[in-house]
Structure 1
Amino acid sequence: MNPGPFAQNNRQFFLIKLQYLGFRFHGWQKQPNNIPTVERMVLRTLRYVFDHSNFKVLAAGRTDAKVSVNETWIELFLDDSQELEVDQFLADFNQNLPSDIRALEIEKTDKDFNVIQAPKIKEYIYLFSHREKFHPFCASMMVYMKSELDIKLMQTAARLFEGTHNFWSYTYKPSETTETTSTIESCYIEKNELFTANFFPEK
C-alpha cells in the first residue's frame, strides 16, 4: 500500500478491535494478485470510508488461511487535519466491511504505542467433535474426527504442553535464527460452551 505523503503534525493514532470469520480468507496479511485477505478488505474499506489513502494499519498479529479471530487489535495511523469522529467512523466502517468482518470498538492512542509489541498473551481455541458426523454448516468452524477419541487421555496429554518448552519440531522450516522456545500458561480440553448453534453437535 502506498499511503501517500504523511503530514506528521496531523497524524492521529487509534486502536480498533476486530473479529472475523476467516474461512474465505487467505489469512490476515495482504497478498499479491488480489488474493482475498482480511487486511486487504480492511484497507479497501478504510479507503472508501475516508475517501483517501493517507493512512496505514498495523496488526497485533497475523493469522493463517481460514483461521478465524474472536478478538484482535489493529493500530490505525491516520493523517487528516480533521479530527476523526470515532462513533460515526465505527458505524460507517462496520456498514461497509464485508459481513464476515466486524469492528467491535475503537479508542484513541498516541505515537508511543506499538500494537506489535503490546500483546502479552495469545489464546488459541480449536473446536472438534468425534463419533457422529456433524452438520455440514460446522465445517468452517470445527474439525470432525472419524474415529472415537479417548478424551480423558487427551486431557492428560494436553497438560504436558504447559510450561516453557522448545517447540522446534513443531516449526515449519526453522532457520538458525528462528525463536522456537515459548511458554504456554495453560493447555486443556473441555466441552465447548463458548460457541453455540442449533446445528452444532451435542458435544
Structure 2
Amino acid sequence: MNNYKLTIQYDGGRYKGWQRLGDNDNTIQAKIENVLTELAEEKIEIIGSGRTDAGVHALAQIANFKMRKHATENEVMQYLNRYLPHDISITHVKLMDHRFHSRYNAKDKTYLYKIWNEQYTHPFMRKYSMHVDQKLDIEKMRKAAQYFIGKHDFTSYSNAKSKKKSMEREIYSLKISENAGFIEIKIRGNGFLYNMVRKITGTLIEVGVGDMDASAIPGILKSKERIQTGRMADSEGLYLERVGF
C-alpha cells in the first residue's frame, strides 16, 4: 500500500469547506477523492491536516491518501492537476512512509487573514480579503493580539459544538502587518477550533475601529461565553498558509 502526501492550494470561494458532506460533493475533499478514485480504480479517502470552513482558502493544505496501485509522484500530480477544477491545485506530491498521517503528525498550523483597509473596495481582491472601510489602529490591534498568545481555553472564540473535546489551544505567535492598503494578520498555534481564527480576527477588528478595548479580552476568554466575542470576520479573507510537521 502506497502512502502519498499532497500539498494543495485552493480557492475556497465556491465550496462548502474542506470536509466531504454526505452525498454533497461540493467540497475540496470530495473533488480530490473523486479524481483519485478514478486513478486508483478503487475507493480512495484522503486525510486532511485539518478542516477549513466554507469559503476559506488554502496556500498549503496537507493531505495524505493510500492506494494499492503504484504510481510515481509525478504521475499522481499530473493526473490530479489534469482533472481537478482549476480552483484546486496540487503543488507537490511525495511518497511517504506508511505511518505518515497528515492530521496526527501535524505539529502546528499558520493561518493568514487579509483585510483591505481603504474607504473604497478592491475590485480584484474582494473575494480574497475582508473590506473594512474604517481606518484600523494597528498599534491597538497589536496590543490586543498579545492577550491571545499562550495556552487558553478558547471556548468563547469558537463555534465548536462538541462539549467532550478540550477547548484549550496554544497560540505561539500573532503578528499584524500593513502594506499598501492591506492589513495582514498571521496566527500560528498548535491547533484551532471551529471558527476560532475568524472570531479572534473579528475581535481584533473591533479593537482596531475603537468598538472594544483590548483589556476586555482576558475577561472574554475566562467567561467562556461566545456571545461576548462580537462579530466574526468574513470567510473570504482567511487562508491556511502552512502546516508544520
TM range (shorter): 0.7 to 0.9
- AA paired with 2:105? A
CA contact (8 A) 1:168 1:174 kept: no
Distance 1:173 1:159 in 2: 23
CA deviations over 1:175-200 (Å, ceiling 9, x no partner):
542311111010121025xxxxxxxx
Which residue does 1:142 correspond to in 2?
Answer: 129
When residues 33 and 108 of structure 1 are mapped into structure 2, their CA distance, relative to the original with a 3 A threshold, is: closer
2:83 pairs, out of 77, 84, 96, with 96
The share of aligned pairs that are identical, in percent, is 26
Which residue does 2:231 correspond to in 1?
Answer: none
- Larger proportion of helix: 2
Gaps of 5+ in 1: 1-10, 193-200
| Greater shift in the superposed pair: 13-22 or 173-182 | 173-182
**Does residue 31 of structure 1 match 2:25?**
no
CA contact (8 A) 1:159 1:188 kept: no
CA deviations over 1:87-138 (Å, ceiling 9, x no partner):
1221121111111111111111122222221110110111002232222331
1:35 Cα deviation (Å)?
4.7
1:170 Cα deviation (Å)?
1.3
- Larger proportion of strand: 2
1:123 pairs, out of 110, 121, 128, with 110
Distance 1:129 1:105 in 2: 30
Distance 2:23 2:43 in 1: 23
**Does residue 160 of structure 1 match 2:147?**
yes
1:39 Cα deviation (Å)?
0.8
1:173 Cα deviation (Å)?
5.3
Distance 2:68 2:154 in 1: 41
CA contact (8 A) 1:13 1:76 kept: yes
Q: Which has the higher contact order (CA 8 A, sep 6+)?
A: 2
**Does residue 41 of structure 1 match 2:57?**
no
CA contact (8 A) 2:17 2:53 kept: yes
Aligned to 2:82, the other structure's residue is in SS state helix
Give the alignment's TM-score, normalised by structure 2.
Answer: 0.69
Spell out structure 1 runs of 4+ moving beyond 4 A. Answer: none
Aligned to 2:79, the other structure's residue is in SS state helix
Query: What is the aligned length?
Result: 182
Gaps of 5+ in 2: 183-245
CA contact (8 A) 1:26 1:64 kept: yes
Distance 1:95 1:130 in 2: 37
When residues 175 and 109 of structure 1 are mapped into structure 2, their CA distance, relative to the original with a 3 A threshold, is: closer
When Rg is computed on C-alpha atoms for both structures, the one with the higher figure is 1
Give the alignment's TM-score, normalised by structure 1.
Answer: 0.82
When residues 84 and 177 of structure 1 are mapped into structure 2, their CA distance, relative to the original with a 3 A threshold, is: same
| Greater shift in the superposed pair: 155-164 or 41-50 | 41-50
**Does residue 20 of structure 1 match 2:10?**
yes
Distance 2:88 2:31 in 1: 9
CA contact (8 A) 2:18 2:29 kept: yes
Aligned to 1:125, the other structure's residue is in SS state strand
CA contact (8 A) 2:76 2:93 kept: no
2:54 pairs, out of 60, 65, 69, with 65
When residues 85 and 138 of structure 1 are mapped into structure 2, their CA distance, relative to the original with a 3 A threshold, is: same
1:85 Cα deviation (Å)?
2.2
Distance 2:138 2:94 in 1: 42
